[in-house]
Structure 1
Amino acid sequence: MEDTLYSPTPISQQHLLSDHTDDPAPIPNPKPHKKLALLPLIFLIYFEVSGGPYGEESAVGAAGPLFAILGFVIFPFIWSIPEALLTAELATTFPGNGGFVIWANEAFGPFWGSLMGFWKFFSGVINLASYPVLCIDYLKLVIPALSSGLPHYVAIFLSTSVLSFLNYSGLVIVGYTAVALGVISLFPFVLLSLFSLPKIDPSRWVSLGQEKKDWALYFNTIFWNLNFWDNASTLAGEVDQPQKTFPKALLSAGLLTCLAYIIPLLAATGAMPLDQKNWVGGYFADVAGIIAGNWLKYWMEIGAVLSIIGLYEAQLSSAAYQLLGMADLGFIPKIFGERSKWFNTPWMAILVSTVIAMGVSFLTFTEIISTVNFLYSLGMLLEFACFLRLRRKFPTLKRPFEVPLGLFGLVLMCLVPSVLLVYVMSVATKIVYVASAFLTTFGIGLYFFMNLCKSKRWIEFSKVGDKLEEEEDMI
């Protein structure tokens, strides 16, 4: 197959006309650039979702080893697999930058496409804010001056700026950087698992831990560690042969993610006597020090920083290319779709995402996770609805990858994770409800304000958005 660049908006336009053709021809981008191959895409998806076992310790602290193990074994089947299958089908059918924004626009129209975009963007950049903070939290163990005050905030600003510049240098560079970061940050867990083998007592795996369980923390921890499978869809326009590459990448990243969680968890909980209060973020490094020595502890702490860098780069790429897709679709001003002349990256989208992430870095880590989960849950409920709607709206559309189920089976596949989403939203705190309501209202207001700016010609928008609306009216 020819190495053709897919422009998201023309493809979206063609699918609006899919009642007339089942095989829309891709429209080449006049400025070709190097595309993402399979291996870097695998590790970008891996960092979108996971980044390694760092962070799963809180599940043991909240509910004990047995429930933590069951959670990371069962949850991928009821959540990760349905979300990955949905992403594989829709990303290969609509292979353009913007991902889920395109899907919602095709399924329910521009209002819902815009709202989907704002929900996912806000959840992404708020999540992005947590990574430099976590990075400094590890570094302050070596440099105590970074613990608080002006040095702490200067360190966050500098680390955020440096990491964002790496993203500006190009998605292919970011992708291969993710491969290197993934291998280096995972290897200490391989060693931990090997050193733990002689000390494992299987009876420790069935321990229920303390009687009082923190179920809200437990579900939020597992959900946060295993979501965002669909974020890579915003990069579909940058992927080499996305119809073939995306399903393979999602499957490979899924296997890597599940193994990276469950094997170290079994090793650590089986080799260590249970002291549940110790199971908080960063405890894996302490376990490594006890089992193998300080050399592995330090390596794991370095690995944590490298993993955080990978998480940041993957999340920023997704947020930036989502804004690029929204600009191409005419939801936001055209300037957000501008690419750098040197690196062909969306420089304005990267800058805006970085500034917003810096702006919300004052939130606590728990508040960040809860707010991210709530906004993401809203977007995912809409995404499941889009998936089912598009199957009914375009039944004869050519789908390079198709979930092998009829409509009833698809409803069941989406029902279980939807119930889980509602539960995650129901255990949120008041501050999360207030923040999510404010951001949702702000997103709706932005949609109507953007339409006003477009009608008054106050700001320049991509003309594609107008063409889409005209074609929808014709259909």
Structure 2
Amino acid sequence: MAMHQPAANRKIKPYQLVALIFFTVSGGPYGLEPLLAYAGEHSAVLLLLVVPLLWDVPAIFTVLELNSMMPVNGGYYRWVKYALGNRWGFYEGWWTWIYTFVDLAIYPVLFVGYASYFFPGIEEYRILVCLVIVWLSAGLNILGIVPVGKVALFLSAAVLAPLIVMFVMALAKYNGGINVPNQTIHGLTHSSFGMALYTIMWNCLGWDNVTTYADEVEKPIRSYLVSVFTAFALVMVIYFLVITVAINTGINQQLFSEGGFPALGELIAGRWLGAALAAGGMASSLGLYAAILLSVSRVPKAMADDELLPRRLNILHSRFRTPYVSILLCSVVVSFMILWPLAELLVIDVTVYGAGLSLEYISLIKLRISHPNTERPFKIRLGTTGLIIAAIIPFGIYFLALSGALASEGGGIIAALFAIIVLSTAEGMWLLVSWRKPHLRLKANS
């Protein structure tokens, strides 16, 4: 079935795409606070600089090459399906759909946490507030990608402004003497190391998610190339600065983990900065939710187009031309997921996401072998052997984090085991789909 092509005036521009990528992947440093409690001041900066290079950079280059080869709505799902066939395409779509439900459930809960700075009693109404956020975001997404892009741009300013003020105030308070302690991972326990990895990985994932609406972006190949690298540089600079500032204030690591950036702001300049950072955290949560719902809602629509999910999911709104049935279904599922504890959601999120990402690496390598002459406006300057070696590195980070969670004594092991069980459901769902539509099974390896 041919997909609807949005009119030119409904496509977003590169600067809006930067804002969407920023919110899909990061949304600012909110959620990074537990890193100091896990890694300590003598490991946090080292891990923060090294892990994204090993975990994110291979993913970014993979996404850019595959997107330049196939800039289509459905993004990573369509790449895997094209490279590996219907079965693995279904796995990719199913896994990333589930992981995004988990991911989305985190942000309304974070919003409530930061809103409690202003309204201490709001925790009693947590579920109600979370549901309001879920369904207001659903309405915004039904209006289309351009309104979401404009809102993301506004919220980006709301997130970045108090962070910039915090950096300036910290430099003034410490007379520019912001120093990084000697860094080493010596002395970290395996479980603390694993949870530190999960914290960083979660704060830096989702580069493939931003390709699911490529048909709705002006000049998608060039726009993604410029926007992704701009967003990555912005994210890394912000993360480095906030953790370095936190270390130099001497803030209690547990207080920082529990009180977040508002507690850090109070320590630097008083309650007014704490309030500004709390407002920034609320804006970050809203922007992340809206941007990620935008990306995930395009995947079931694409799968429905290919008969791998019920056809009703590919119905477009008669006026706004958005997959409103998919958006509504996603919102219903997330409405139940908000009941999960935050720390466990993080472990489940990264574990399931990593499995889907692995199929994208395999697809990249497979297409280099099977379609070597297909045009790739952006191409990683490595041969097949080099790509295989490069893919092993993020796999190593992934399994280190997973083994650390399994070695922990808290909820990490339960969450990790649950994530593994969730991953196994893909085969059962594929068997059900292929049983109902045998012709899909015949094309499973096409």
Question: Normalised by the size of structure 1, how large is the TM-score?
Answer: 0.86
| Pairing 1:400–2:377 present | yes
Following superposition, the deviation at residue 468 of structure 1 comes to: 10
Return the match for 1:359 from 314, 325, 336. Answer: 336
Checking the alignment, whether the CA contact within 8 Å between 1:97 and 1:324 is kept in structure 2 is no
Return the match for 1:435 from 418, 434, 439. Answer: 418
Shift in CA distance, 140/194, structure 1 to aligned 2, threshold 3 Å: closer
Following superposition, the deviation at residue 469 of structure 1 comes to: 3.9
| Pairing 1:91–2:74 present | no
Return the match for 1:169 from 140, 143, 147. Answer: 143
- AA at the equivalent of 2:386: G
Shift in CA distance, 129/140, structure 1 to aligned 2, threshold 3 Å: same
Return the match for 1:140 from 88, 108, 116. Answer: 116
Work out the CA distance in 2 between the residues paired with 1:201 and 1:375: 41
Following superposition, the deviation at residue 253 of structure 1 comes to: 0.9
| Pairing 1:418–2:398 present | no
Checking the alignment, whether the CA contact within 8 Å between 2:195 and 2:404 is kept in structure 1 is no
| Pairing 1:384–2:361 present | yes
| Pairing 1:63–2:39 present | yes
Following superposition, the deviation at residue 89 of structure 1 comes to: 0.7
Following superposition, the deviation at residue 300 of structure 1 comes to: 0.7
- Residue 16 of structure 1 corresponds to none
| Pairing 1:452–2:408 present | no
Work out the CA distance in 1 between the residues paired with 2:255 and 2:105: 26
Return the match for 2:236 from 249, 252, 258. Answer: 258
Following superposition, the deviation at residue 319 of structure 1 comes to: 0.8
- AA at the equivalent of 1:286: A
Shift in CA distance, 29/227, structure 1 to aligned 2, threshold 3 Å: closer
Q: 1:193-234 CA distances to partner (integer Å, 9 max, x unpaired)?
A: 111114155556337799665222211111111111111111
- AA at the equivalent of 1:45: I
- AA at the equivalent of 1:348: V
Shift in CA distance, 277/445, structure 1 to aligned 2, threshold 3 Å: same
Work out the CA distance in 2 between the residues paired with 1:364 and 1:67: 26
Shift in CA distance, 343/281, structure 1 to aligned 2, threshold 3 Å: farther
Does 201-210 or 231-240 show the bigger shift? Answer: 201-210
- Residue 132 of structure 2 corresponds to 158
Following superposition, the deviation at residue 143 of structure 1 comes to: 2.6
SS of 2:166's equivalent?
helix
Work out the CA distance in 2 between the residues paired with 1:32 and 1:193: 40
SS of 1:249's equivalent?
helix
SS of 2:368's equivalent?
helix
Checking the alignment, whether the CA contact within 8 Å between 2:80 and 2:360 is kept in structure 1 is yes
The equivalences for 1:309-320 within 5 A come to: 309-320=286-297
| Pairing 1:181–2:155 present | yes
Work out the CA distance in 2 between the residues paired with 1:135 and 1:30: 32
Shift in CA distance, 231/67, structure 1 to aligned 2, threshold 3 Å: same
Work out the CA distance in 2 between the residues paired with 1:361 and 1:288: 28
SS of 1:332's equivalent?
coil
Shift in CA distance, 217/434, structure 1 to aligned 2, threshold 3 Å: closer
Work out the CA distance in 1 between the residues paired with 2:316 and 2:156: 28
Work out the CA distance in 2 between the residues paired with 1:274 and 1:294: 15
- Residue 408 of structure 2 corresponds to none
Work out the CA distance in 2 between the residues paired with 1:237 and 1:176: 18
- Residue 89 of structure 2 corresponds to 113
Checking the alignment, whether the CA contact within 8 Å between 2:297 and 2:323 is kept in structure 1 is yes
- AA at the equivalent of 1:172: V
Q: 1:314-371 CA distances to partner (integer Å, 9 max, x unpaired)?
A: 1111110111221222211221111111211110111111111111111100110000
- Residue 338 of structure 1 corresponds to 315
SS of 1:229's equivalent?
coil
- AA at the equivalent of 1:306: A
Work out the CA distance in 1 between the residues paired with 2:281 and 2:186: 28
Aligned-residue RMSD, C-alpha: 2.5
Shift in CA distance, 302/202, structure 1 to aligned 2, threshold 3 Å: closer
- AA at the equivalent of 2:296: A
- AA at the equivalent of 1:65: E
- AA at the equivalent of 1:56: L
Work out the CA distance in 2 between the residues paired with 1:207 and 1:146: 39
SS of 2:95's equivalent?
helix
Question: Normalised by the size of structure 2, how large is the TM-score?
Answer: 0.91
Work out the CA distance in 1 between the residues paired with 2:150 and 2:318: 21
Q: 1:92-139 CA distances to partner (integer Å, 9 max, x unpaired)?
A: 211111111111111211000000111111001111011111111222
Alignment gaps of 5+ in structure 2: 406-411
Q: 1:358-391 CA distances to partner (integer Å, 9 max, x unpaired)?
A: 1111110011000011101111122211111111
The equivalences for 1:163-242 within 5 A come to: 163-198=137-172, 199=174, 201-202=177-178, 205-206=181-182, 213=189, 214-242=192-220
- AA at the equivalent of 2:343: T
- Residue 302 of structure 1 corresponds to 279
Work out the CA distance in 2 between the residues paired with 1:307 and 1:96: 28
Work out the CA distance in 1 between the residues paired with 2:86 and 2:223: 28
Following superposition, the deviation at residue 399 of structure 1 comes to: 0.7
Percent identity at matched positions? 27
- Residue 82 of structure 1 corresponds to 58
- AA at the equivalent of 1:446: M
- Residue 459 of structure 1 corresponds to none
Checking the alignment, whether the CA contact within 8 Å between 1:145 and 1:152 is kept in structure 2 is no
Work out the CA distance in 1 between the residues paired with 2:123 and 2:211: 37
Checking the alignment, whether the CA contact within 8 Å between 1:54 and 1:281 is kept in structure 2 is no
Checking the alignment, whether the CA contact within 8 Å between 1:64 and 1:208 is kept in structure 2 is no
- Residue 371 of structure 1 corresponds to 348
Checking the alignment, whether the CA contact within 8 Å between 1:61 and 1:278 is kept in structure 2 is no
SS of 1:280's equivalent?
helix
- AA at the equivalent of 1:144: P
Work out the CA distance in 1 between the residues paired with 2:89 and 2:79: 7
Checking the alignment, whether the CA contact within 8 Å between 1:373 and 1:424 is kept in structure 2 is no
Alignment gaps of 5+ in structure 1: 1-8, 11-26, 456-464
Checking the alignment, whether the CA contact within 8 Å between 2:117 and 2:275 is kept in structure 1 is no
- Residue 6 of structure 1 corresponds to none
Checking the alignment, whether the CA contact within 8 Å between 1:328 and 1:337 is kept in structure 2 is yes
Q: 1:38-61 CA distances to partner (integer Å, 9 max, x unpaired)?
A: 011111111111111112121111
Q: How many residues were matched structurally?
A: 436
